[in-house]
Amino acid sequence: MATKIYGIKACGTMKKAFNKLDALGVNYEFHDYKKQGIDSETVQTWVAELGIEKVLNKRGTTWRKLTDEQKLSSDADVNTAIELLVENTSMIKRPIVASTKGDEAILLCGFDEAAFEQAFA
């Protein structure tokens, strides 16, 4: 599996991640949510591995603009939260990086320079 990085091009955190991957010599494919969207199966995989608390960004403006009912529903039911993430990709924490190292799968969420170095150095 090639390395794939998911996010939004204009995001500052994404720029840090691109720069770090470039510095580490990692070839990657970029998946832009704004242009390509995301399917629920992919989001379900991330949530199963990382947990909804890690994948769902509650600090952004998109989350704050949701109704109280939508917020409560997503907190009560992970499938509802996944549906909201598919519909509102800005609420997915950025970046998500999927890759492999030997036989080991790598799945990173958010930019952590040390985690990137550990995974790809």
The letter for the amino acid at 70 is Q
**Cα–Cα distance list, 82 to 17, 24, 59, 60, 86 (Å):** 24, 32, 17, 16, 6
Residue position matching structure tokens 């509650």: 58
User: Of these residues, 3, 8, 11, 73, which one is catalytic?
Assistant: 11
State yes or no: is 11 an active-site residue: yes
Do the strands 104-109 and 96-101 form a parallel or antiparallel pair, or are they unpaired?
antiparallel
The letter for the amino acid at 43 is V
The residues that are catalytic are 11
